[in-house]
Amino acid sequence: MAVGSFACADLLTSAPGEGDTFDAPVEGLTAGERAAFVRGDAEFGRRFSPASGLGPVFNNVSCASCHSGDGRGRLENSLSRIGSAADGFLSELGGPQIQDRAIPGAQPEPVPAGVAVSVRLPPPVFGVGLIEAIPEATIVALADPDDANGDGISGRPNWVFAGAYVPASEPGAGTGLKLGRFGRKAQTSSLLEQTVEAYHQDIGITSEFRPTENRNPMSGLPIDALDAAPDPEVPTSTVQAVVHYIRALAPPAAGALTAARAEGEALFTSIGCALCHTPTLTTGAHKLSALAHKSVPLYSDMLLHDMGDALADNRPDGSATGREWRTTPLWGLRLMRQFLHGQAFLMHDGRARSVEEAILQHAGEGLSSRTAFAALSAAQRAALLDFVESR
C-alpha cells in the first residue's frame, strides 16, 4: 500500500488550468460553504498515525492516500472485499474488507483461503455530490430489468439499506430500501455512510457513528494497549466536514469537442455505448443549492448491469449479484493519466490499462457494443477512443 497523501499540486509538474483538477469546488458555493470546503479538504488529506488513532488494522493512512489527487486509485491502493450479506460478510474471517496493514504489535488480516475475493480500486470522489442530487425517479426511469425494449440492456437499481446511524437529514437515509448510488456496485445510498465506513474500514478510525474499533478477529491479540487513542477518534464535525468537501467537489471539465471527437461521439451512440453510459442527467433540489438543477455529464445511468463471466467477482452487494456492476461514470478520463504517473487503471480492479482494453473486456450486456467497436475501422476506433478519453 502506498502511504503518501497526494494533492493535485504534488502530482502535476505545472499549475493546472481551470477545470483541470479533481479537487476544485463546484461553482456557486457561499463564503461559509467555501470555508467548510477548505476545512474538509484539510481533513481529507490528514495523515493518521497510531498516536492519533490509526488502526489497529487498516489499509491506508488518509483519505487522500487512496484517491490520487481526489481521482481514481492505483493498483497499490486496491481493496479486497470478501463475503456478502447472505453469509454475514464472513465477519469471523475479517470481512467485509481485508485490512492488510497493522500498527506495531497488531497483525494485519490475511486473505482467507478458499474465499471469493473482490479486488476493487478506490473510485474518484469528485462529482459525487452531483450524483447524490440526481432524483431517484430519474435513475429508476432508466431501468429496464426485463429488457422490455429488446435492446439487450437490462439495467436495474441496487436497492440497499442505509446504515442505522445515518441521520434522517442526510440524502439516502431512512428505514426501508434506498437507491444505492456509491461504490462499484452502487452498494451505498449515503455519502455520510460512505465516509464513515471509509474512516472505519480503510484507516481504522472510529467516529461517533462507528465508535468500536475494527479488529482482526483471527489474531486473538488484545489491542487496548496498542491503539491508545481515545474513541471516538474523530468527532462528528470532522466527518461532516469531509462529507461536505466531497459533496462539493466539482468534476473536471471535458476537453474541446473537435471534429474527430464529434465523429467519435456519434459512433459512441451508434454502437450502443450510450445505452448504459448515459451522457447527461439532471439534478433536482438539494440541500446544497450549488448542486441543484444542474446538468451532470457523468456518462452513466447509475444502474447495475451484468458484465459477463470474465468480469464477475462472485460477491453480491445489496441486491447486486456477483456478475453485476454499476455503470462507471466516464468523466475525468481526460486527466486520469496526469494523476496516475502516466498510467490508466480501468474497470473495477484496474485490469484494463487503456480505454480500448476496457471496451474489449465488456461482455454480458456490453457484448453487442464490444463487438460493434471491434468491427469499426482503425480510424473510427481512434475517433471513438479520442472522444471517450476527452471526457
Distance CA 80, CA 184 (A): 13
Domain of residue 159, residue span = 1-391
Residues 155, 251, 70, 28, CA torsion sign: negative
Which range is least confidently modeled, 28-37, 211-220, 281-290? 211-220
- Asked whether the predicted pLDDT for residue 12 surpasses 90, the reply is no
Within 13 A of 302's CA, how many CA atoms are on the CB side? 29
Of the candidates 137, 126, 127, 130, the residue with the CA atom closest to the CA atom of residue 294:
130
Average pLDDT (152-180) is 97
pLDDT on residue 347: 95
- Asked whether the predicted pLDDT for residue 241 surpasses 70, the reply is yes
Cell of 366: 456490453
Total tally of structural domains belonging to the chain:
1
**Strands, E assignment, 141-190:** 159-161, 177-179
Average pLDDT (149-173) is 97
Region of residue 383 (left: phi > 0; alpha: psi -120 to 50; beta: else):
alpha
**Strands, E assignment, 60-191:** 79-82, 97-98, 101-102, 117-120, 159-161, 177-179
pLDDT in tens, 314-338: 999 989 999 999 999 999 999 988 8
Distance CA 153, CA 151 (A): 5
Percent of the chain with pLDDT over 70: 94
pLDDT on residue 189: 98
- Asked whether the predicted pLDDT for residue 256 surpasses 70, the reply is yes
Contact 296, 286 (CB under 8 A): no
pLDDT on residue 15: 55
Q: pLDDT averaged over the chain?
A: 92
Average pLDDT (205-233) is 88
Average pLDDT (367-384) is 98
Q: How confident is the model at residue 1 (pLDDT cuts 50, 70, 90)?
A: very low
* E strand or H helix at 56: none
pLDDT on residue 352: 95
pLDDT on residue 79: 94
Of the candidates 248, 332, 251, 253, the residue with the CA atom closest to the CA atom of residue 290:
248
pTM for the model stands at: 0.92
* E strand or H helix at 288: none
Q: How confident is the model at residue 9 (pLDDT cuts 50, 70, 90)?
A: very low
Average pLDDT (140-167) is 97
pLDDT in tens, 69-128: 667 777 888 999 999 888 988 999 999 999 999 999 999 999 999 998 999 999 999 999
pLDDT on residue 4: 41
